[in-house]
């Protein structure tokens, strides 16, 4: 299929790029880096004002009724900016889960507020000592307590938890069923410990110590917990790959400009054959990252089996994302490591995304196992 944007999608992507460009200046980054929470508040408000926080959400919930492919285009621009914006977690993962599985009361309460930028939602997915999702044992427990429940456990690497309005938390009942709950970030028994990550962006360990959860806070029906968890994880992988596409494309753009201007031995560096070949290979890698992320998004949007496509997108985002980042650094020379030069932020983000996606080797193992098992029943291609 041709995943190049149509005119409407191209306009949407250009709008997102123009909005974010206003906040990636030296002054814009200084405001983010001087904030203890590293929150690009002004950029988030501008995205809300432009209607971009409602891209994948239905018009009836305050959105603009587009889909995941359009959300990927916005994520690519967020990756290009390298700003630590919670679009993936708040809009694509959490608001998407509430829209698809939540009650009408939950959707009416939260989705319009998310679209207006008044509420932030954060997905608490990772747990200590467990293999990378989707093999999630869910040690976090949700135990009945009269008419309500008590939530106990520990989640890692939760983004923006300190400023989020609600946490969307998968947990397991005593009978083994999974449930997903929407928890007040300031509820009694919720504790936060900040983590240091590669990009210095806000990540937290979140402790749940007997947090009271009402039945109205449960997301979906009693038998939908595993489906909701899978839905959230699929969108997380897709979104991280889309961010890497934007990061890699911007790193290559900066590199192309640099080698076309920088002179050595009386010639533009970009005219050297070795430099041109490395830049060309990086361009191919960027196209592969972008294509596979968009393909995974399209299959998810069409409600088709996307397990292989997600693994392929994650592989390219990890393997090719690393290659592009290192190529960009190499061809920039010493300029690339200056902390006030944009490539430095892009390089750090590319590395963090690679780690968050689990690395290329894990994806090859999964794809190899899928090939060995043969075609899956019910798959539509």
Measured between alpha carbons, how far is residue 264 from residues 137, 157, 268, 330, 355 in Å? Answer: 56, 44, 6, 15, 36
Query: How far from chain centre, in Å, is Cα 266?
Result: 44
Q: Quick one: pLDDT at residue 38? A: 87
Nearest in space to 86 (alpha carbons), one of 128, 126, 132, 38: 38
Q: Quick one: pLDDT at residue 133? A: 47
Q: What is the pLDDT of residues 180-230, one digit of tens each?
A: 999 999 999 999 999 988 888 889 999 999 999 999 999 999 999 999 999
**Positions of E strands within 65-165:** 121-123, 141-145, 148-159
Q: Quick one: pLDDT at residue 290? A: 97
Task: With a cut of 50, list the residues of the chain below it in pLDDT.
Answer: 131-134, 377-378, 380-381
User: Distance (Å, rounded) from C-alpha 84 to C-alpha 160?
Assistant: 9
Q: Quick one: pLDDT at residue 136? A: 56
Determine how many CB atoms are found less than 10 A away from the CB of residue 188. 9
Sorted by sequence, the CB contacts under 8 Å of residue 347 that are 6+ apart come out as 251, 325, 328, 329, 336
User: Distance (Å, rounded) from C-alpha 241 to C-alpha 294?
Assistant: 9
Domains of the chain by start residue, with CATH: 7-120 (1.10.540.10), 123-224 (2.40.110.10), 226-373 (1.20.140.10)
Q: Are 148 and 190 in contact (CB under 8 A)?
A: no
Q: Quick one: pLDDT at residue 130? A: 55
pTM score of the predicted model: 0.93
Residue with tokens 């897709």: 238
Q: Residue 76: is it exposed, middle or buried by C-beta count within 10 angstroms (0-12/13-18/19+)?
A: buried
């Amino acid at each position: 299929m041709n995943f190049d944007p149509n005119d409407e999608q191209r306009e949407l992507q250009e709008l997102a790029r123009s909005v974010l460009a206003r906040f990636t200046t030296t002054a814009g980054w200084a405001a983010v880096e001087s904030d203890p929470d590293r929150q690009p508040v002004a950029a988030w408000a501008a995205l809300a004002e432009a209607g971009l926080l409602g891209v994948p959400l239905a018009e009836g919930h305050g959105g603009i009724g587009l889909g995941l492919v359009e959300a990927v285009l916005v994520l690519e621009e967020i990756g290009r900016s390298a700003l630590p914006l919670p679009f993936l977690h708040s809009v694509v993962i959490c608001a998407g889960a509430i829209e698809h599985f939540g009650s009408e009361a939950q959707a009416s309460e939260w989705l319009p507020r998310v679209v207006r930028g008044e509420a932030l939602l954060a997905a608490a997915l990772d747990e200590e000592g467990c293999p990378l999702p989707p093999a999630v044992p869910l040690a976090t427990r949700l135990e009945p307590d009269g008419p309500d429940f008590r939530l106990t456990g520990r989640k890692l690497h939760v983004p923006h938890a300190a400023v989020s309005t609600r946490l969307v938390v998968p947990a397991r009942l005593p009978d083994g069923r999974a449930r997903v709950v929407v928890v007040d970030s300031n509820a009694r028994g919720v504790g936060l410990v900040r983590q240091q990550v590669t990009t210095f962006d806000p990540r937290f360990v979140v402790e749940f110590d007997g947090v009271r959860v009402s039945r109205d806070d449960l997301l979906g029906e009693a038998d939908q917990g595993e489906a909701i968890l899978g839905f959230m994880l699929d969108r997380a992988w897709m979104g991280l790959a889309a961010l890497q596409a934007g990061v890699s494309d911007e790193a290559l753009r900066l590199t192309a400009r640099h080698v076309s201007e920088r002179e050595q031995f009386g010639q533009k560096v970009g005219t050297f054959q070795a430099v041109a070949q490395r830049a060309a290979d990086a361009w191919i890698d960027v196209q592969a990252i972008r294509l596979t992320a968009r393909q995974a998004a399209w299959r998810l949007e069409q409600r088709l089996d996307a397990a292989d496509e997600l693994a392929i997108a994650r592989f390219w985002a990890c393997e090719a994302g690393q290659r592009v980042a290192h190529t960009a650094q190499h061809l920039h020379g010493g300029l690339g490591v200056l902390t006030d030069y944009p490539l430095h932020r892009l390089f750090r983000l590319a590395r963090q995304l690679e780690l968050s996606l689990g690395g290329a080797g894990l994806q090859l193992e999964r794809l190899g196992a899928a090939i060995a098992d043969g075609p899956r029943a019910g798959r539509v291609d």
